[in-house]
Chains A and B, each alone.
Chain A
Amino acid sequence: MGFANPAVNARRILGSIPTYLILTIGLLLAVIPFLLIFITALKSPAELGNAFALPQQFHWENFQRAWTQARFGTYFKSSLIVTLSVVGISCLLSLLTGYAFGQLRFPLKNSIFLLFLIGLMVPTEAYIIPLYYSLRAVHLTDTYWALILPQIGMSVCFGSFWMRGFFSGIPRDLVDASRVDGCNDWQTFWHVMIPMVLPGLWTMAVLFFIWTWNDFLLALVMITREGLRTLPLGLAMFQGRYTTDYTLTAAGATIVALPTLLFYVLFQRQFIRGVTAGAIKG
């Protein structure tokens, strides 16, 4: 590299300019709205005129007001209960269905898998009303179950599809080797397969987290009690009531967005490894 021809070097730098330009524009488009909301959350109502101007003084108390006065603390708790239950249970179930579809041979395997795919293809809007009546019939509306159970159903459809790919990618020889080494089915699953599908599992967990955390429609239809509202629903309702207090809305929106952002940043490496798994030979 050190001996490279300067002309060639210059051409390489010139050539990469458009790439960086496009990436920068993309980055700005993605980040600016978040920044504006965050800045707005720190302003006083009087400073709202120019969206791009920085506040003269950071009003951190807006977050505190949103948390207590606007009940975002309660919504946060609901979101956390629902999301963690959904992510945990869905991951567990998807591991099992993915294993079954990817590794086992059983009658009607492909037909059953097709059913899961249908679950993946039908939009929530199509079945949300009948689902509401079904859940009301068993007295589950206005409970966390009304959010957790359907969300698990939707997640497992995707999860089965997703994990099946990872499980079917495990070489047959490895499974055979573990059986000769002394594993029963359960030990093969636990000691050999789980470690191999781990990148896929992490990615799936991140996706489940984001989808469940951001879900709005299900909460809107199923939940009427304020104490059970999740963050996106709480935010929407809050907007309806306090349309004038944009700083509070912005603080609430930041509270809604922050956990997914953190979750993603924490598991970013695993996430990318899962998405690109199989792209390069291990």
Chain B
Amino acid sequence: MASVTFDHVTKKFGDVVALNDLNIKVEDREFLVLVGPSGCGKTTALRCLAGLEEVTSGRILIGDQVVNDIPPKDRDIAMVFQSYALYPHMTVFDNMAFGLKLRKFPKDEIKRRVEEAAQILGIETLLKRKPRELSGGQRQRVAVGRAIVREPKVFLFDEPLSNLDAKLRVQTRAEISKLHQRLQTTFIYVTHDQVEAMTMATRIAVMNKGILQQLDTPQNLYDKPANLFVAGFIGSPAMNFFSARLRKEQGELIIDTGDFAVKIPAEKRDLYAPYVDRQVIFGIRPEDIHNPTFAPPGIHAAPVESKVDVIELMGNEIFLYMVSGKNNYVARVDPRTRFKIGDTVQLVFNMDNFHLFNPAADSENPPAIR
């Protein structure tokens, strides 16, 4: 068990900056998920921590020890790879025992640990098989088992679920969460899937282009995204964004997209007042757009008229793809909604949960106005 610290870590491959001044402190026993689109540097960060890549500058610490110059085998970490990376010529038992054998553990201790791990993972009956005789899900378990038997200070997972089918992925997700509770060890988990990140993590580090965008709890990332990238990345379907102008009219603050205008509730006026007559990006999540008939009571509802373009029935909810002038957006509405494609209907935006971003501060990735 140990904390992990990335201290001003930069990693360059030639001219490409894969990690740009990364600072993360992972607490002991924390389940930290690194999430971001492909090429964002999350896997590079994990590989640097594992010792499979050398950092260009900065320090990585496991506990209080700087590990920059320590080889992978001496870092007391275990890693589960996306491809599972099982040794094809070894049995399941030998795959799991390999790390212990190299460390010259006594035979009965190896046997005890492998059998215990196999039992936790439900693979006791597979110990004599070779990896090629296993299904994808079973291989994945063996890969996890190989990490467990080592009883390392830190577990690293590199997209371990992406090769599983959808159903197995959901199941294994829950199992890894359970494993974390059981082992009470630091987990660092890399994924591009924000659902995995949201469901498993104690905290999430959202990355893009080698830069840490935000490090926070799943709920805070969802409620208070720091910038446009995080706002768009966390949540599915993604947050809707509209280019807009703030205007002041008879004491009210209005967000005007050109196609529709919505009022900012009184208690938020002070926050946004300095941005009057300036360009902003207005963001609202699909789940905060309602069919007025089923809108929750007591919200600050702002009516918006738009045309229904596509309807997706999900059973427990309906996704409406709406067009309002030059703007498109998605609404996630009550399943009892009965709209038809082509109808012009009125929806309401819940103005208690909206976000404004300031493109003047950073045109590529505008920060949220707080």
From A72-80, A155-163, A190-198, A215-223, give the one contacting chain B.
Answer: A190-198
- B83–A173 touching, CB < 8 Å: yes
Number of contact residues on A: which range applies? 10 to 19
Docked CA distance A195–B132 (Å): 15
- B52–A282 touching, CB < 8 Å: no
User: In the complex, what's the smallest C-beta–C-beta distance from A191 to chain B, in angstroms?
Assistant: 7
- B85–A191 touching, CB < 8 Å: no
A176: B residues at CB distance < 8 A: 47, 50, 52, 72, 79, 81, 85
> Which of B71, B77, B86 has most chain A Cβ within 10 Å?
B71
B102: A residues at CB distance < 8 A: 181-183, 187
Encode contact with B along A161-187: 1 for CB under 8 Å, 0 otherwise: 000000000010110111111111001
**Does B42 touch A at the CB level, under 8 Å?**
no
The listed residue (B50, B73, B85) touching A184 by CB distance below 8 A is: B73
B interface size (C-beta, 8 A): 25
The listed residue (B52, B82, B86) touching A179 by CB distance below 8 A is: B52
Docked CA distance A182–B83 (Å): 19
Q: Which of B58-73 contact A (CB under 8 A)?
A: 71-73
Docked CA distance A173–B99 (Å): 15
The listed residue (B77, B83, B88) touching A180 by CB distance below 8 A is: B77
**Does B167 touch A at the CB level, under 8 Å?**
no
Docked CA distance A248–B52 (Å): 65
Docked CA distance A111–B292 (Å): 72
Q: Which residue of chain B is the closest to A176 with respect to CB atoms?
A: B52
- A180–B73 touching, CB < 8 Å: yes
Q: A187-B102, A196-B89 are in contact. Are A180 and B132 (CB under 8 A)?
A: no
Q: Which residue of chain A is the closest to B102 with respect to CB atoms?
A: A182
Q: A183-B73, A187-B102 are in contact. Are A173 and B88 (CB under 8 A)?
A: no
Q: Which residue of chain A is the closest to B78 with respect to CB atoms?
A: A180
**Does B98 touch A at the CB level, under 8 Å?**
yes
Q: A179-B72, A181-B98 are in contact. Are A173 and B87 (CB under 8 A)?
A: no
The listed residue (A182, A192, A195) touching B99 by CB distance below 8 A is: A182
Q: Which residue of chain A is the closest to B79 with respect to CB atoms?
A: A180
- B81–A177 touching, CB < 8 Å: yes
The listed residue (A174, A179, A180, A182) touching B87 by CB distance below 8 A is: A174
Docked CA distance A184–B72 (Å): 9
- A180–B103 touching, CB < 8 Å: no
- B132–A282 touching, CB < 8 Å: yes
> Which of B47, B50, B73 has most chain A Cβ within 10 Å?
B73
User: In the complex, what's the smallest C-beta–C-beta distance from A143 to chain B, in angstroms?
Assistant: 41
B82: A residues at CB distance < 8 A: 173
Docked CA distance A187–B82 (Å): 23
Q: A171-B83, A171-B85, A196-B88 are in contact. Are A180 and B98 (CB under 8 A)?
A: no
B50: A residues at CB distance < 8 A: 176, 180
Docked CA distance A179–B47 (Å): 12
A179: B residues at CB distance < 8 A: 51-52, 71-73
User: In the complex, what's the smallest C-beta–C-beta distance from A94 to chain B, in angstroms?
Assistant: 20
Q: Which residue of chain A is the closest to B103 with respect to CB atoms?
A: A182
User: In the complex, what's the smallest C-beta–C-beta distance from B92 to chain A, in angstroms?
Assistant: 14
A171: B residues at CB distance < 8 A: 83, 85
B47: A residues at CB distance < 8 A: 176
Docked CA distance A176–B72 (Å): 9
Docked CA distance A187–B103 (Å): 12
**Does B146 touch A at the CB level, under 8 Å?**
yes
- B85–A182 touching, CB < 8 Å: no
Docked CA distance A196–B82 (Å): 20
User: In the complex, what's the smallest C-beta–C-beta distance from B99 to chain A, in angstroms?
Assistant: 4
> Which of A173, A182, A195 has most chain B Cβ within 10 Å?
A182
Q: Which of A99-141 contact B (CB under 8 A)?
A: none
- B72–A180 touching, CB < 8 Å: yes
User: In the complex, what's the smallest C-beta–C-beta distance from A186 to chain B, in angstroms?
Assistant: 12
The listed residue (B78, B87, B146) touching A192 by CB distance below 8 A is: B87
Knowing that A171-B83, A178-B87, A179-B73 touch, tell me 13 more A-B residue pairs with CB under 8 angstroms.
A171-B85, A176-B85, A177-B79, A177-B81, A178-B98, A179-B71, A179-B72, A180-B72, A181-B98, A182-B103, A183-B73, A191-B98, A282-B132
| A-binding residues in B (CB < 8 A) | 47, 50-52, 71-73, 77-79, 81-83, 85-89, 98-99, 102-103, 132, 146, 150
Q: Would you give 10 A-B contacts (Cβ < 8 Å), ordered by A?
A: A176-B72, A177-B85, A177-B86, A178-B98, A181-B99, A183-B73, A184-B71, A191-B98, A195-B89, A196-B88
Which 7 A-B pairs have CB atoms at the shortest separation, nearest pair first? A177-B85, A173-B85, A182-B102, A181-B99, A195-B89, A182-B73, A179-B72
